Amino acid sequence: MPQFMDVHTHMRGVTTETLQEAHHADVEIQGEEDVVFRKAWADPKTGHVFCLSEGPSADAVRRVHERAGHPADEIHEITVTA
């Protein structure tokens, strides 16, 4: 299944708790789009949040994030790893 890294750029001040809440909101509905969210990282100073997921398409990942209330600004398919 394809992997994706998405970026949110408007979450300044995010805390561990709010990141976990956002991740949980994705996980609650991820199955409806056949997406699996694996991990999330954040930088509260810049407001950047990064999420690693697997799914059928970037559009499926986008739909989950939008429905969970935190749309992604960018979604990148991971095609090369080391």
pLDDT tens digits, the chain, 82 residues: what are they?
A: 999 999 999 999 999 999 999 999 999 999 999 999 999 999 999 999 999 999 999 999 999 999 999 999 999 999 999 9
Q: What is the domain count for the chain?
A: 1
Q: What pLDDT score was predicted for residue 26?
A: 98
Asked if 9 and 48 count as a contact pair (C-beta separation under 8 A), the reply is: yes
For residues 63 and 60, give the distance between their C-alpha atoms in angstroms, rounded to a whole number. Answer: 5
For residues 60 and 62, give the distance between their C-alpha atoms in angstroms, rounded to a whole number. Answer: 5
pTM metric for this prediction: 0.94
Q: What pLDDT score was predicted for residue 33?
A: 98
The CATH number of residue 31's host domain is 3.30.70.3090
Q: What pLDDT score was predicted for residue 50?
A: 98
Residue-range definition of the domain harbouring residue 36: 3-78
Q: What pLDDT score was predicted for residue 60?
A: 98
